[in-house]
Structure 1
Amino acid sequence: MKKVLQMKISNHESNVQILKDVSSNLISTFCGDMFSFALGLMLLHATGMSLSFGLSMIIMPIVTLIGLVPIGNLVDTYRHKHILVISLMVRIIALVIYAITIGHFNGTGKLGPTIIFLAVNYVSVNVSNSGYTASVHELVNTSHIQRLNSLSQAASSFASTFSPVIAASLYVLVGFRSFIIFQLAAHTIALIILVSMHFHYASTPKKELSVSHESQLGKFKLGLQYLMSHKFLRYLICVALFLNFIFAVTNVGLPFIVVQHLHLGNLTLGILNSADAVGMLAGNLIISMAPEIKQLAKILATTMCVIGFALCGIGWLFIADPSMWTVRIIGALMVFSVGMSLAFMNTPFGIYMQKTVPTSLMGRVSSTEMSLNMISIPIGTVFYSFIFQLFPNGFVFIASGILMLGVTGLTMPTFIHTRMPDQDEDVEMEKE
């Protein structure tokens, strides 16, 4: 029997790593969201096509599905810091090339280089997301995983709330090329922070240069086998798929009902969308300050019920033919509760994965989970777009809320006593 020791990460070092990670995530997400918004505006002005703002939503799922097997295997084969640094450098190089070349194209000709850039960018983003998920145990100790996840999610929510407003204001003043500079600066800062972070690897490292004779598909099947053998984890991923499908009712329904059906204006829609992001921000901040989550299934069941009742409430509100201020106030409170509930769904799920899935399989498991979620989003969008054309009223929200409550009531009792793993796997035993 041989012990494979992993250096114990102190609480102080975990806190320093969290500060670095949250700072990097805030800067990257904020500038990234501003750049995406400015890119959409630039393409809209250049091509006049409504597709300009939806280009990312088309390319992202395609790239995610194509990269499902190789990205998961890549993350589980090489040291995570090396992968993250190379991935970010690829993103910087791609952005520099795009900045140099985009000015040589006009009108719809700008779509070609933009599609190529977005494809390369999303491959890099997927590698970074999977690599980051798999490296959490190498950055902080087990007791700090909850704080790391919640604060990182809070940083993303903050950026998503305020970046579009700032981007819309700055675009008129500085133009698209300035946003490229902002994005390059953000990537550079993120790279410097990443290089300064200490990844604690096991004392028996992976052999990066060894050539495996196992096929890419064979390696990936190991991750699928683990996923299929873990009943509660499999259930959580199914819940995530269901949630992404159901939440298309808000992505599609809120703009359609508020602007087109009730004629309450874009400002009302903006308030509701902001309430959702602020709710997620508040939820993650609460989680970051709360004691370590133990009763995982009970928290998930509660939040799913809150989401179901909130969707029903939004539906009744729209049916009641309310005034503009009623929708802005009561509707915002309901959407806020949905956003906060989502934080209490997403963050504990991420923590559970990082505490349960072996580090050697995390890349493949997380890549599978992200790809499945990416598939469910466009399916839900197409479904609810069709439904709202037939039934343009709040009953669709009510039906979705009832469906959410029904699924929770039928499935959650089986797992209601499931707790969050709390063991610290600093020492692993390996048979010689």
Structure 2
Amino acid sequence: MSEAAKLRRATYHLYTFTISKLISTFGSSVYTFGISLYVLALTGSAASFAINLICSILPRTLLAPFAGYAADNYSKKAIVIIAQFASALSVAGLLFYSIVAGLSLPAIYTATVLISVSSMFASVTFSSSIANLIDSDRIQKAMGFNQSAIAIATIGGPVVGGILFGFVSMNVFLIIQVTAYLLAVALEATMDFKLFTNRIADTAGETKKSMVAGMKEGFSYLKSNRVVMVIVTVAVGVNFFFSALMIGLPFIVVQELEIQATHFGFIEAMIAAGMLASSIYFSVRKEVKFPLQFAKRGILGMSVLLAGMGLPLVIEFTYAAAVVYYLLLMLIFGITNVFVNTPIGVMMQKDVEEEYRGRVFGILESMAMAMMPLGYLLYGLLYDVMPAEYVVIGSSICLIVLTSYLMRPSILKQAHPELDKSAFPVAAKLQE
């Protein structure tokens, strides 16, 4: 295939991938919102809701490395299509059970586990395929489009779900989700997952390593690549310490400051609005020159915002001032979130060798997801025994120290050898 034809095909992938992501994520967002309200309405128990959340997180944590191994050793296109179709079948099975016997908690939990596993295989495989689908010069644009699709779905899904919940049965939510998955499968079936592959030995007769050997090889590669290992470690730390925000935001805003639930809904929505705005920005700007340095500044900025959550507990705000303050704080947080994720995502697509990319993304997802339940548990306890402002300020300081150490200048120079010349152009000129 000629280069011009490849670029045309990559352009098709860019928009098809975005539309597919938007449809599947939007459907999932509507379904998640509806099923969450249904579980709470059915049981009136926060514990039942938490169990459903665990059923979603735990399988992803345990099985993500296996999804990465599969992505590296088998057809990425086949995995994505089979996984998406399996998700559709899982929801369709829940729909059939609902029609025959009515929804029950065991059926919902079972469907949640199955959907979590299948969607995780699709997610990890897609994440490791972007550099195969899109030409190198437009990977940042693709990442920006991807984040935009997620942000739109995050904003629109609960809105549509909230409107529908009062007027239609739960079966309509399930039909929406099945339809979304099937539309995504139809779009993904038209994509060429080997368009920009660099792998030479990819034949049907190639002898594949055993799963255990392949997994060990993935971990060995990760440990041998210092920069990628730093990225994974920082991601784990960020996920852990920002559990303080996920647990603390509703606790501080609703419980401590007694802000109305309606206003709190707008505060939460501002995170997605900020993500959307910055995603659009990254889809049109030129590629970040020093992504690791860029991401470090973003994480340090997010750390300051985390500490800022406690400010209205220290300084007295009027009700209106507190609402406006948190609206702006969460908007900026959403913006900085993408300022971290997008450059790092682009860097990993380009720097991680293709034959290991699936396993690296699988390990990253597994380790990052593992920190969420632990963080939720720890911070749930901390907010009960300590003043909330101490918790967020302490977490902010810990994250700043961790980031400053892991992403110290020697690591940045290893990731970006040209950084010194860029930072000190006159000295570099004299040396030449």
- 2:23 paired with 1:27: yes
2:174 equivalent to 1:180: yes
The equivalent residue for 2:223 is: 228
Deviations 1:299-351 (A, max 9, x none): 11211221122222222233213122112112221222121111111122211
Separation in 1 of the partners of 2:242 and 2:294? 19
C-alpha contact (below 8 Å) 1:34/1:166 kept by paired residues: yes
Q: Indicate yes or no: 2:104 matched with 1:122.
A: no
Within 1, Cα distance between the matches of 2:205 and 2:64?
22
Q: How many angstroms apart in 1 are the aligned matches of 2:48 and 2:161?
A: 16
Distance 1:57 1:349 in 2: 27
Selected match of 1:72 from 68, 71, 88: 68
Task: State which of 342, 354, 373 in structure 2 corresponds to 1:378.
Answer: 373
In the TM superposition, what whole-angstrom CA distance separates every residue of 1:275-300 from its partner, at most 9, and x where no partner exists? 11111111211111111111112211
Q: 1:285 to 1:183 in 2, by over 3 A?
A: same
Alignment of 1:169 with 2:160, yes or no, is no
> How many Å separate the matches in 2 of 1:14 and 1:419?
28
The alpha-carbon deviation at position 409 of structure 1 amounts to 3.0
Distance 1:203 1:416, change over 3 A: closer
Q: Does the CA-based 8 Å contact 1:352-1:421 persist in structure 2?
A: no
How much does 1:19 deviate?
A: 0.7
| Alpha-carbon separation, structure 2, partners of 1:143 and 1:420 | 18
> Corresponding residue for 2:337?
342
- Unmatched segments (≥5 aa) in structure 1: 423-432
Mapped partners of 2:211, 2:279: distance in 1: 37
2:313–2:389 contact (8 Å) kept in structure 1:
yes
Q: Report if the CA contact (8 A) 1:297-1:415 is conserved.
A: no
Correspondence for 2:300 = 305
Provide the rounded CA distance (Å) in 1 between the counterparts of 2:117 and 2:243: 24
Does the Cα contact within 8 Å between 1:306 and 1:337 map onto a contact in 2?
A: no
Secondary structure at the aligned position of 1:267 is classed as helix
> Residue 294 in 1 paired to residue 289 in 2?
yes
Aligned pairs for 1:88-127 (under 5 A) are 88-105=84-101, 110-127=104-121
Distance 1:79 1:325, change over 3 A: same
For the pair 1:354 / 2:349, whether they are aligned, the reply is: yes
**In the alignment, what sits opposite 1:85?**
81
Aligned counterparts of 2:178 and 2:417: Cα–Cα separation in 1: 39
| Distance verdict in 2 for CA 1:314–1:69, change over 3 Å | closer
Q: Deviations over 1:38-73 (max 9, x none)?
A: 112222233332234334420133212432443222
Contact 2:24 2:181 in 1 (8 A): yes
Secondary structure in 2 matching 1:143: helix
Partner of 1:206: helix, strand, or coil?
coil
**2:427 match:** none
* Secondary structure in structure 2 of the residue aligned to 1:416: helix
Q: Is the 8 A contact 1:297 1:416 kept in 2?
A: yes
Q: Distance in 2 between matches of 1:411 and 1:78?
A: 34
From 228, 231, 251, the equivalent of 2:246 is 251
Distance 1:325 1:418 in 2: 48
2:126 maps to amino acid: Y
Q: CA deviation at 1:191?
A: 1.1
Distance 1:308 1:415 in 2: 20
Q: Contact 1:261/1:392 (CA < 8 Å) preserved in 2?
A: no
Give the letter for the 1:82 counterpart.
A
Equivalent residue, structure 2, for 1:426? none
Q: Which residue of 1 aligns with 2:11?
A: 15
1:406 aligns with 2:410: no
1:194 aligned to which of 178, 188, 191:
188
Query: Tell me, what secondary structure is at the counterpart of 2:164?
Result: helix
**Amino acid in the other structure paired with 2:336:** S
* Amino acid corresponding to residue 43 of structure 1 in structure 2: V
Instruction: Give yes or no for contact 1:79–1:208 (8 Å, CA) kept in 2.
Output: no
**8 Å CA contact retained: 2:267, 2:323:** yes
Gapped regions of structure 2 (runs ≥ 5): 419-432
Give the drift of 1:164.
Answer: 0.8
Alignment CA distance shift 1:289-1:373 (3 Å): same
Instruction: Report the equivalent of 1:429.
Output: none
C-alpha distance 9-368 of structure 1, shift in aligned 2 (>3 A): farther
Residues 254 and 269 in structure 1, CA contact (< 8 A), matched pair in contact too: no
Aligned residue in 2 for 1:63: 59
RMSD: 2.3
* Distance in 2 between residues matched to 1:202 and 1:256, nearest whole Å: 49
Contact 1:9 1:141 (C-alpha < 8 Å) held by counterparts: no
Aligned pairs, number: 415
Identical counterparts, % of pairs: 24
2: CA distance, partners of 1:67 / 1:121: 13
